[in-house]
Amino acid sequence: MIVQSMVRNAILLGIFAVLGTGMVALTHENTKSRIAENQRQALLANLHELVPPNTYNNDIIGDHITVTDQDMLGTADPVPVYRARKNGSPVAAVLTPVAPDGYNGDIKLMVAISYDGTILGVRVLAHNETPGLGDAIDISKTPWVTGFNGRSLNNPKPDKWHVKRDGGVFDQFTGATITPRAVVKAVHKCLQYYMSNRDTLFSKGEHEGKSTA
């Protein structure tokens, strides 16, 4: 009797597991292409804020490689580099370095640098900085990050690549110096990395990673 009801319950649970999984699988099947397209569009929208779509004509998301350099890019994980080209010649590269020394953990950045080494723009993709203080690095709060536009390794001079408190040219925020300091440092390092690896960045693995965009 007990065995019978155990078997009955086990079968019942099994049926529900199959039904539930089936429903999830069906939903997944019907939404996955749309979700992939959403993620692609969101990434493309981010890229287009920094690299205007009329300046290049390749598939910028498909044309990407991944590089790893914990010291210069702030993370031990592979970092994607998106490459914009016009008729085959390099226009700009978009890197996504991490500022590991934010006030509250990693700050994920997106840095677009034109082929000649000028910064086209910087955006903060994800951060956990204090709302109202450190979150001024977010373009939706203040235009602070646009202060990087047009900068390069010699503009300002290397010893001025700091926040004002440290004798540099970049503004800090009232009550929050650590956050902008971390971002300035990460952008500067990313720029140095780009300039010393520029040619390999553009020539390496032309068709690598096409499927993982």
Partner 1 sequence: MTPPSYNSIIRDGLWNNNPALVQILGLCPLLAVTATVVNGFALGVATAVVLVCSNVTVSLIRGFVKPEVRIPVFVMVIASFVTAIELAMNAYFHALYNILGIFIPLIVTNCNIIARAEAFASKNTVSRSMVDGLATGIGFTLVLMALGAMREVIGRGTLLTQANLMFGESAKWMTVTVFDHYNGYLLAILPPGAFLGLGFLIALKNVIDDRLKRRVLAQQAADARPAGAV
The only residue of 53, 78, 105, 132 in contact with partner 1, by rule CB under 8 A: 132
Whole-number Å distance between alpha carbons of 62 and 57: 12
Q: Which is nearer to partner 1, 42 or 76 (CB)?
A: 42
Task: Return the structure tokens found at 151.
Answer: 């900068």
Q: Which is nearer to partner 1, 8 or 160 (CB)?
A: 8
Cα–Cα distances in Å, from 16 out to 3, 12, 26, 36, 142? 20, 6, 15, 29, 51
The only residue of 7, 23, 104, 158 in contact with partner 1, by rule CB under 8 A: 23
Type of residue numbered 187: V
Whole-number Å distance between alpha carbons of 30 and 32: 6
Residues 6 or more apart whose CB falls under 8 angstroms from that of 191 comprise 111, 113, 117, 119, 151, 152, 153
- Interface with partner 1, residue 143, by CB under 8 A: no
Bond into 158 cis (ω within 30): no
The only residue of 20, 143, 158, 205 in contact with partner 1, by rule CB under 8 A: 20
Q: Which is nearer to partner 1, 41 or 68 (CB)?
A: 41
CB 45 to partner 1: min, Å = 10
Q: Which is nearer to partner 1, 16 or 68 (CB)?
A: 16
The 3-state DSSP class for residue 117 equals coil
Residues 6 or more apart whose CB falls under 8 angstroms from that of 205 comprise 65
The only residue of 53, 78, 131, 150 in contact with partner 1, by rule CB under 8 A: 131
User: Could you tell me which of 209, 26, 11, 201 has the C-alpha nearest to residue 97?
Assistant: 201
The only residue of 1, 3, 7, 13 in contact with partner 1, by rule CB under 8 A: 13
- Interface with partner 1, residue 154, by CB under 8 A: no
Q: Which residues pair with residue 108 across a beta bridge?
A: 98, 126
What track of x and - describes contact with partner 1 for positions 26 through 55 (by CB under 8 A)?
Answer: -xx--x--xx--xx-xx-------------
CB 18 to partner 1: min, Å = 10
CB 158 to partner 1: min, Å = 36
Residues forming contacts to partner 1 in the complex (CB under 8 A) are: 5, 8-9, 12-13, 16-17, 19-21, 23-24, 27-28, 31, 34-35, 38-39, 41-42, 131-132
